[in-house]
Amino acid sequence: MRLVVDLNRCQGYAQCAFLAPDVFAMHGDEGLLYDPQAEESQRARVAQAVAACPVQAILVDELDLAGTGAGPAGTGGEASHA
Ligand code: SF4
The domains of the chain are located at: 3-68
Has this prediction a pTM greater than 0.85?
Answer: no
Ramachandran angles phi, psi of 34, nearest 5°: -150, 160
Contact (Cβ atoms closer than 8 angstroms) between residue 61 and residue 1: yes
Ramachandran angles phi, psi of 31, nearest 5°: -80, 135
For the CA of 32, the closest atom of ligand 1 is: 5
Residue 12's pLDDT is what? Answer: 87
DSSP 8-state secondary structure symbol assigned to residue 55: T
Q: Does domain 3-68 have CATH number 3.30.70.20?
A: yes
5-56 confidence digits (pLDDT tens): 999 999 988 999 999 999 999 988 768 999 999 999 999 999 999 999 999 9
**Burial degree of 23 (CB within 10 A; 0-12, 13-18, 19+):** buried
Query: Hey, which of 6, 55, 56 would you mutate to test ligand 1's pocket, going by the most ligand atoms within 8 Å of its Cβ?
Result: 55
Residue nearest to atom 8 of ligand 1 (CA): 10
